[in-house]
Amino acid sequence: MAHSTQASEVRFDGQAAQEDQSSHAEALMRAALNAGAGEAEAVAQGSQIISVRFEGEELKLTSADFGSALGLRVLHDRRMGFASTNQVGTEARERTAQGALGLAKCSPADPANVLPDCHPVTRDVQACDDALSDMPVEAVVGRARDLVARTLAVDPRLRLDSCEVVLRRGAGAVHSSAGVEASASSTSMSLSLFGMAVDGDDVGGFDYWGGHALDVPSFELLAEESITHFSRAALGNLNAQASESYTGPVLFSPSAFMDVFIQPLVSAASAIAVQRGRSSLAGKLGQVIAADMLNVTDDPTDRGLMGLCAFDREGVPTQPFDVINQGVLQAYLYNGYAAAVDGVSSTGHASGGARSVPGLGAHGLCVGAGQGGRSADMLKHLDRGLLVGRFSGSVDPASGDFSGVAKSSRWVEAGAVVRPVRETLFGGNLFDLLPQLLQLSSEAESVMGSARAPWALVDGLSVTAG
């Protein structure tokens, strides 16, 4: 990792950092092959992270840290072993190679244990910003102080449990014996606000908001949006009252819609879930699984989302990928292993970091907007019932059953919010309910930098009030 050693004088050179990580990955891959491995894939990641954490109005901790991770997947006669380390020396490299190879030799053979072929990465995401590359610790502290002050100035009843601003600068590389050589570097600044409002003896439910930005102007916009969202939600949670039990339509915020419906739905579209018999979407390619207004795309080119990337964990190039189009299931998501099981090509959905075997997942899910108007119009479509701001519960992606508590949620009458609610549970089955999607709002919003989704009105839920 290219960096100076004094935290207050940190400078980041993305190109040099990429070259460093490439050389680490290459050396680790060579160590595995020299140890006798048939095939090897090495991932190297290095980061500089400056984080500033406030608790309440008090600056609790400033951290300026440099970290690295090396991961090695070894395939030997179609047997797989994996090892990782945070040490970059020769001795650690050899120990890691021996460890992964030893594990591979005692694992059973699996014909799908192959490394993905090399496909050139032609897209450069250009995720290094000069201002963020040069930003010193003091500037990050200053932005955090400003964020806390502006948030608490909104209303004296607001309390911050924590506020964090994190500047991340890093690079990563993948090298494999199948010819993959991919590397990238990035800078970003993220924030999070977590807290509640307190009015005398009334303690409101907590809420949180945040996201990440690739440059300073975007961070400023994010800060403004986050303060507005957090303060509105936290203050709105004061004086919560009982709601009502019923079966019928519920209005979901973009965040709750993602958590209850879309994330589990896309998990069920994982090829491994299908292959292993734990997906309700098995055999449903090309079939209608939701109302025709639903479109879901995985978009690794969206610069507003944290999943921005040019290649996946295995070095396979990524591109926008349709999962649901007009309610019809378009495709399953594949990493290299799942692709080998089905005899197809990876869709570039290998996920995870250097410290574990590649997983399978989406990069940046985007749900297409509908024609339901703005969020206020969606209240009118609901007319009377529950608006769920945040979901605290569990979803089983295999069965689609979900159940949880409606947090930061409101009771709606005559198309308008009349009170915040407390102790309100709701549940259903997402596969049964997606065809009962009644409306999507006309704009998709960022969900804390991880996804984009509109507001959604869904019929048929069971709501239990305390």
Partner 1 sequence: MQTDSCNDPTDILQEALNADGGEHVELRFHSKRTRSIAVEKGRVDQARLAEHAGVGVRVQSGGAHGFASTSALEVGAIREALDNARSAARASARKDSVGIGDLPPAELARGVFEEAGCHELERRPIEESLEWVLAMEARTRAASKSIQSAVCRYSEVFEEKGIVTSDGAKAWTRLVRPEFATSAVASKDGDIQRGARSVGATGAWDCLFRRADAEQFSEEAASMAVNLLRAGQVAGGRKRVLLSPSLVGLLTHEAIGHTVEADFVAAGSCAQGRIGEQVASELVTLCDSGASEYLPGAGGTLAVDDEGILAGRTEIIRAGVLNSYLHDRRSAAEFGVTPTGNARAWEYDDAPLIRMRNTYIEPGTSSLEEMIAETADGLMLDGPKNGQADANGEFMFGTLQAWPIVNGKRGDLLRGTNISGTAFDVLRSVSAVGKDFEWDLGSGHCGKGQPMKVDAGGPWVACEVLVGGQV
Instruction: Tell which positions 262-281 bind partner 1, by CB under 8 A.
Output: 276-278, 280
Is the distance from CB of 315 to CB of 176 less than 8 angstroms? yes
- Window 95-134: residues binding partner 1 (CB under 8 A): 96, 99-100, 103-104, 106-108, 110, 112
Determine the residue type at 240.
A
Task: State whether the Cα torsion 408-413-418-423 is positive or negative.
Answer: negative
Cβ proximity to partner 1, 146 vs 423, nearer residue: 423
CB of 123 to partner 1, least distance (A): 30
Residue of the chain from 19, 26, 55, 117 that contacts partner 1 (CB under 8 A): 55
Which CB atom, from 214 or from 339, has the smaller least distance to partner 1? Answer: 339
Closest distance to partner 1 from the beta carbon of 66 (Å):
8
Residues 344-403 interacting with partner 1 (rule: CB under 8 A): 355-357, 392-394, 396, 398-401, 403
Check residue 168 for interaction with partner 1 (CB under 8 A). no
- Is 241 a binder of partner 1 (CB under 8 A)? no
Comparison of 60 and 303: residue with beta carbon closer to partner 1: 60
Give the count of alpha carbons within 13 A of 280, CB side only. Answer: 15
Check residue 326 for interaction with partner 1 (CB under 8 A).
no
Structure tokens given for 223 = 């800060």
Report DSSP state, residue 317: B
Question: Is there binding between residue 78 and partner 1 (CB under 8 A)?
Answer: no
Which residue shows structure tokens 């600044």? 189
Rounded to whole angstroms, what are the CA distances from 164 to 142, 149, 157, 207? 12, 13, 20, 14
**How many helices (H) and strands (E) would you count in the chain?**
11, 24
Closer by beta carbon to partner 1, 143 or else 452: 143
- If 0-12 CB within 10 Å is exposed, 13-18 middle and 19+ buried, where does residue 140 land? buried
Residues in 410-429 at the binding interface with partner 1, rule: CB under 8 A: 422-423, 425-427
- Nearer to partner 1 by Cβ, of 284 and 380: the residue is 284
Choose one: 74-82, 254-262, 289-297, 381-389; the region binding partner 1 (CB under 8 A). Answer: 74-82
- Choose, by CB under 8 A, the member of 45, 68, 133, 185 that binds partner 1: 68
> What one-character-per-residue DSSP string does 149-210 give?
HHHHTS-TTEEEEEEEEEEEEEEEEEEETTS-EEEEEEEEEEEEEEEEEEETTEEPPPEEEE
Site string for partner 1, 202-231 (x = CB under 8 A): -xxxx-------------------------
Subset of 141-160 contacting partner 1 (CB under 8 A):
141, 159-160
CA distance 222 to 181: 34
Contacts of residue 289, Cβ cutoff 8 Å, sequence gap at least 6: 281, 324, 327, 328, 329, 431, 434, 435
